[in-house]
Amino acid sequence: MLPVRQENADNKELLFPVNTIYCVGQNYAAHAREMGADPKRCSPVFFHKPTDSLLPACDGRGAPRRVNLSYPPQTNELHHEIELVAALKDGGRNIPRAEAKGCIFGYGVGLDMTRRDLQAGARKEGMPWDMAKGFDDAAPCSALNPVSRCGHPDRGAIRLVVNGEPRQKADLSDLIWSPSEVIVFLSRLVTLCPGDLIFTGTPGGVGPVRRGDELEGHIDGVGEITAVIV
Ligand code: MN
Protein backbone atom coordinates (compact mmCIF):
# COMPACT_ATOMS: atom_id res chain seq x y z
CA MET A 1 0.00 0.00 0.00
CA LEU A 2 1.19 3.49 -0.78
CA PRO A 3 -0.54 6.44 0.90
CA VAL A 4 -2.00 9.25 -1.21
CA ARG A 5 -1.04 12.77 -0.21
CA GLN A 6 -3.88 14.55 1.55
CA GLU A 7 -4.62 18.20 1.00
CA ASN A 8 -6.69 18.99 4.10
CA ALA A 9 -6.42 17.87 7.70
CA ASP A 10 -9.98 16.50 7.59
CA ASN A 11 -9.33 14.31 4.54
CA LYS A 12 -9.57 10.59 5.25
CA GLU A 13 -6.53 8.35 4.96
CA LEU A 14 -6.36 7.03 1.40
CA LEU A 15 -4.20 4.07 0.45
CA PHE A 16 -3.22 3.05 -3.09
CA PRO A 17 -2.94 -0.76 -3.38
CA VAL A 18 0.28 -1.49 -5.26
CA ASN A 19 0.20 -4.35 -7.77
CA THR A 20 3.34 -4.76 -9.90
CA ILE A 21 6.40 -2.47 -9.87
CA TYR A 22 7.85 -1.88 -13.33
CA CYS A 23 11.02 0.11 -13.97
CA VAL A 24 12.44 1.71 -17.10
CA GLY A 25 16.18 1.48 -17.71
CA GLN A 26 18.20 4.28 -19.33
CA ASN A 27 15.46 6.82 -19.95
CA TYR A 28 17.76 9.85 -19.68
CA ALA A 29 20.60 10.11 -22.22
CA ALA A 30 23.16 11.16 -19.58
CA HIS A 31 22.48 8.03 -17.49
CA ALA A 32 22.52 5.73 -20.56
CA ARG A 33 25.96 7.11 -21.41
CA GLU A 34 27.32 6.70 -17.87
CA MET A 35 26.17 3.04 -18.02
CA GLY A 36 28.13 2.58 -21.24
CA ALA A 37 25.03 2.34 -23.45
CA ASP A 38 23.75 4.11 -26.54
CA PRO A 39 20.93 6.50 -25.58
CA LYS A 40 19.41 6.24 -29.08
CA ARG A 41 17.39 3.04 -28.61
CA CYS A 42 14.23 2.31 -30.52
CA SER A 43 12.33 1.15 -27.41
CA PRO A 44 12.74 1.40 -23.62
CA VAL A 45 14.30 -1.36 -21.46
CA PHE A 46 12.08 -2.73 -18.69
CA PHE A 47 12.62 -4.70 -15.51
CA HIS A 48 10.72 -5.45 -12.28
CA LYS A 49 11.13 -4.88 -8.60
CA PRO A 50 9.33 -7.12 -6.09
CA THR A 51 6.24 -5.38 -4.71
CA ASP A 52 7.39 -6.09 -1.15
CA SER A 53 10.57 -4.08 -1.78
CA LEU A 54 8.39 -0.93 -1.64
CA LEU A 55 9.27 1.38 1.27
CA PRO A 56 6.73 4.21 1.71
CA ALA A 57 8.49 7.40 2.80
CA CYS A 58 5.43 9.06 4.31
CA ASP A 59 2.92 8.67 7.10
CA GLY A 60 -0.51 7.09 6.58
CA ARG A 61 -1.98 10.39 5.42
CA GLY A 62 0.76 10.95 2.90
CA ALA A 63 2.84 13.59 4.72
CA PRO A 64 6.57 13.19 3.93
CA ARG A 65 8.44 11.17 6.56
CA ARG A 66 12.16 10.39 6.78
CA VAL A 67 12.55 6.63 6.47
CA ASN A 68 15.33 4.25 7.40
CA LEU A 69 16.59 2.25 4.44
CA SER A 70 18.49 -0.93 5.35
CA TYR A 71 21.84 -1.34 3.60
CA PRO A 72 21.33 -4.65 1.75
CA PRO A 73 23.60 -7.69 2.08
CA GLN A 74 26.00 -9.02 -0.58
CA THR A 75 27.05 -5.63 -1.93
CA ASN A 76 29.77 -3.05 -1.46
CA GLU A 77 28.25 -0.69 -4.00
CA LEU A 78 24.68 0.39 -3.22
CA HIS A 79 23.70 3.13 -5.70
CA HIS A 80 20.97 5.78 -5.61
CA GLU A 81 18.70 6.47 -8.60
CA ILE A 82 16.10 9.23 -8.18
CA GLU A 83 13.03 8.66 -10.39
CA LEU A 84 9.58 9.99 -11.24
CA VAL A 85 7.06 7.25 -10.43
CA ALA A 86 3.72 6.96 -12.27
CA ALA A 87 0.89 5.08 -10.53
CA LEU A 88 -1.83 3.51 -12.69
CA LYS A 89 -5.57 3.56 -12.01
CA ASP A 90 -6.37 1.77 -15.28
CA GLY A 91 -4.57 -0.76 -17.40
CA GLY A 92 -4.97 -2.99 -20.43
CA ARG A 93 -3.06 -4.32 -23.41
CA ASN A 94 -1.89 -2.38 -26.44
CA ILE A 95 -2.98 0.92 -24.91
CA PRO A 96 -3.12 3.61 -27.63
CA ARG A 97 -1.09 6.79 -27.15
CA ALA A 98 -4.23 8.92 -26.80
CA GLU A 99 -5.48 6.81 -23.88
CA ALA A 100 -2.22 6.33 -21.98
CA LYS A 101 -2.36 9.54 -19.92
CA GLY A 102 -5.85 8.68 -18.73
CA CYS A 103 -4.48 5.49 -17.10
CA ILE A 104 -2.38 7.48 -14.63
CA PHE A 105 -3.75 8.05 -11.13
CA GLY A 106 -0.88 10.13 -9.84
CA TYR A 107 2.86 10.56 -9.43
CA GLY A 108 5.45 10.05 -6.72
CA VAL A 109 9.17 10.46 -6.08
CA GLY A 110 10.99 7.14 -5.95
CA LEU A 111 14.47 5.76 -5.44
CA ASP A 112 15.49 2.79 -7.60
CA MET A 113 18.15 1.47 -5.19
CA THR A 114 20.64 -0.74 -7.01
CA ARG A 115 23.38 -3.19 -5.98
CA ARG A 116 25.59 -1.90 -8.81
CA ASP A 117 28.40 -4.42 -8.27
CA LEU A 118 25.93 -7.32 -8.62
CA GLN A 119 24.44 -5.71 -11.72
CA ALA A 120 27.85 -5.16 -13.32
CA GLY A 121 28.91 -8.75 -12.54
CA ALA A 122 25.73 -10.22 -14.00
CA ARG A 123 25.92 -8.04 -17.13
CA LYS A 124 29.50 -9.12 -17.70
CA GLU A 125 28.50 -12.79 -17.58
CA GLY A 126 25.33 -12.28 -19.62
CA MET A 127 23.26 -13.37 -16.61
CA PRO A 128 19.99 -11.85 -15.29
CA TRP A 129 20.45 -8.96 -12.84
CA ASP A 130 17.18 -9.25 -10.89
CA MET A 131 19.03 -9.48 -7.58
CA ALA A 132 20.76 -6.17 -8.30
CA LYS A 133 17.37 -4.44 -8.33
CA GLY A 134 15.19 -6.59 -6.09
CA PHE A 135 15.90 -6.72 -2.34
CA ASP A 136 14.42 -5.46 0.94
CA ASP A 137 13.81 -1.67 0.82
CA ALA A 138 14.92 -1.50 -2.86
CA ALA A 139 12.01 0.76 -3.80
CA PRO A 140 11.50 3.71 -1.43
CA CYS A 141 8.72 5.99 -2.68
CA SER A 142 6.97 9.15 -1.51
CA ALA A 143 3.20 9.42 -1.12
CA LEU A 144 1.33 9.65 -4.42
CA ASN A 145 0.26 13.06 -5.61
CA PRO A 146 -2.99 12.60 -7.56
CA VAL A 147 -3.26 13.98 -11.12
CA SER A 148 -6.28 15.96 -9.92
CA ARG A 149 -3.78 18.08 -7.95
CA CYS A 150 -0.42 17.88 -9.74
CA GLY A 151 -1.53 17.32 -13.33
CA HIS A 152 0.90 15.48 -15.61
CA PRO A 153 4.34 16.97 -14.89
CA ASP A 154 6.33 17.12 -18.15
CA ARG A 155 8.94 19.67 -17.01
CA GLY A 156 10.51 20.78 -13.76
CA ALA A 157 13.55 19.88 -11.71
CA ILE A 158 14.31 16.34 -10.56
CA ARG A 159 17.21 16.18 -8.12
CA LEU A 160 18.90 14.15 -5.42
CA VAL A 161 21.16 15.47 -2.68
CA VAL A 162 23.26 13.19 -0.44
CA ASN A 163 24.40 14.67 2.91
CA GLY A 164 23.64 18.12 1.48
CA GLU A 165 25.81 17.55 -1.60
CA PRO A 166 24.11 17.62 -5.06
CA ARG A 167 24.44 14.26 -6.84
CA GLN A 168 21.72 14.06 -9.52
CA LYS A 169 20.03 16.97 -11.26
CA ALA A 170 18.00 17.12 -14.46
CA ASP A 171 14.67 18.26 -15.85
CA LEU A 172 11.66 16.01 -16.47
CA SER A 173 11.71 17.29 -20.05
CA ASP A 174 15.00 15.36 -20.45
CA LEU A 175 13.09 12.04 -20.25
CA ILE A 176 13.59 10.15 -23.53
CA TRP A 177 10.18 8.43 -23.20
CA SER A 178 7.40 10.24 -21.30
CA PRO A 179 5.29 8.25 -18.83
CA SER A 180 2.54 8.00 -21.49
CA GLU A 181 4.97 6.65 -24.09
CA VAL A 182 6.31 4.18 -21.52
CA ILE A 183 2.75 2.93 -20.92
CA VAL A 184 2.26 2.41 -24.68
CA PHE A 185 5.47 0.33 -24.96
CA LEU A 186 4.90 -1.63 -21.75
CA SER A 187 1.29 -2.51 -22.61
CA ARG A 188 2.55 -4.20 -25.78
CA LEU A 189 4.56 -6.58 -23.58
CA VAL A 190 2.21 -7.19 -20.64
CA THR A 191 -1.33 -6.45 -19.47
CA LEU A 192 -1.06 -3.39 -17.27
CA CYS A 193 -3.31 -3.26 -14.19
CA PRO A 194 -4.72 -0.70 -11.80
CA GLY A 195 -2.22 -0.47 -8.93
CA ASP A 196 0.87 -0.85 -11.10
CA LEU A 197 3.75 1.54 -10.41
CA ILE A 198 6.22 2.56 -13.10
CA PHE A 199 9.63 3.91 -12.05
CA THR A 200 10.39 5.96 -15.16
CA GLY A 201 14.21 6.01 -15.09
CA THR A 202 16.99 8.05 -13.51
CA PRO A 203 19.05 11.04 -14.69
CA GLY A 204 22.86 10.97 -14.80
CA GLY A 205 24.93 11.20 -11.63
CA VAL A 206 24.18 7.87 -9.95
CA GLY A 207 26.66 6.88 -7.26
CA PRO A 208 27.31 4.96 -4.05
CA VAL A 209 25.86 5.54 -0.58
CA ARG A 210 27.04 4.33 2.82
CA ARG A 211 25.43 3.69 6.19
CA GLY A 212 24.58 7.00 7.83
CA ASP A 213 24.08 8.87 4.55
CA GLU A 214 20.96 11.00 4.19
CA LEU A 215 19.32 11.07 0.75
CA GLU A 216 16.94 13.92 -0.11
CA GLY A 217 15.07 13.69 -3.40
CA HIS A 218 12.78 16.29 -4.94
CA ILE A 219 10.66 16.62 -8.07
CA ASP A 220 9.03 19.98 -8.80
CA GLY A 221 5.26 19.82 -8.39
CA VAL A 222 5.31 16.15 -7.35
CA GLY A 223 6.92 15.85 -3.92
CA GLU A 224 9.97 14.88 -1.97
CA ILE A 225 11.56 11.88 -0.31
CA THR A 226 14.07 11.60 2.53
CA ALA A 227 15.82 8.36 3.48
CA VAL A 228 18.69 7.49 5.80
CA ILE A 229 20.85 4.45 5.09
CA VAL A 230 21.07 2.25 8.22
MN1 MN B 1 16.47 3.08 -12.47
* Window from 4-13, 56-65, 72-81, 108-117 with minimum mean pLDDT: 4-13
Cβ partners under 8 Å of residue 9, min gap 6: none
Q: What is the tally of structural domains in the chain?
A: 1
The residue-averaged pLDDT of 2-28 equals: 90
**Ligand 1 center–CA 25 separation, angstroms:** 5
Residue 92 φ/ψ region, left for φ over 0, alpha for ψ in the -120 to 50 degree band, beta for the rest: left
Cα–Cα distance between 146 and 167 in angstroms, integer?
27
Do residues 68 and 150 make contact, with C-beta atoms less than 8 angstroms apart?
A: no
Q: Which pLDDT band holds residue 9 (cuts at 50, 70, 90)?
A: low
86: domain range? 2-229
DSSP-derived secondary structure for 67-129: EEEPPPSS-S-EEE-EEEEEEES--BSS--HHHHGGGEEEEEEEE--EEHHHHHHHHHTT---
pLDDT in tens, 108-134: 999 999 999 999 999 999 999 999 999
pLDDT at residue 38 tops 90: no
**Ligand 1 center–CA 144 separation, angstroms:** 18
CATH number of the domain at 67, please. Answer: 3.90.850.10
**Ligand 1 center–CA 47 separation, angstroms:** 9
pLDDT at residue 43 tops 90: no
Q: What is the pLDDT of residue 10?
A: 72
Which residues are within 5 Å of ligand 1 (an ion), measured at CB?
81, 112, 202
**Ligand 1 center–CA 117 separation, angstroms:** 15
Share of the chain above pLDDT 70, in %: 100
Q: Which amino acid is at 2?
A: L
Pairing type for strands 15-16 and 145-146 reads unpaired
Share of the chain above pLDDT 90, in %: 92
**Ligand 1 center–CA 84 separation, angstroms:** 10
Mean pLDDT for all residues in the chain: 96
Q: What is the pLDDT of residue 40?
A: 80
Give this prediction's pTM: 0.97
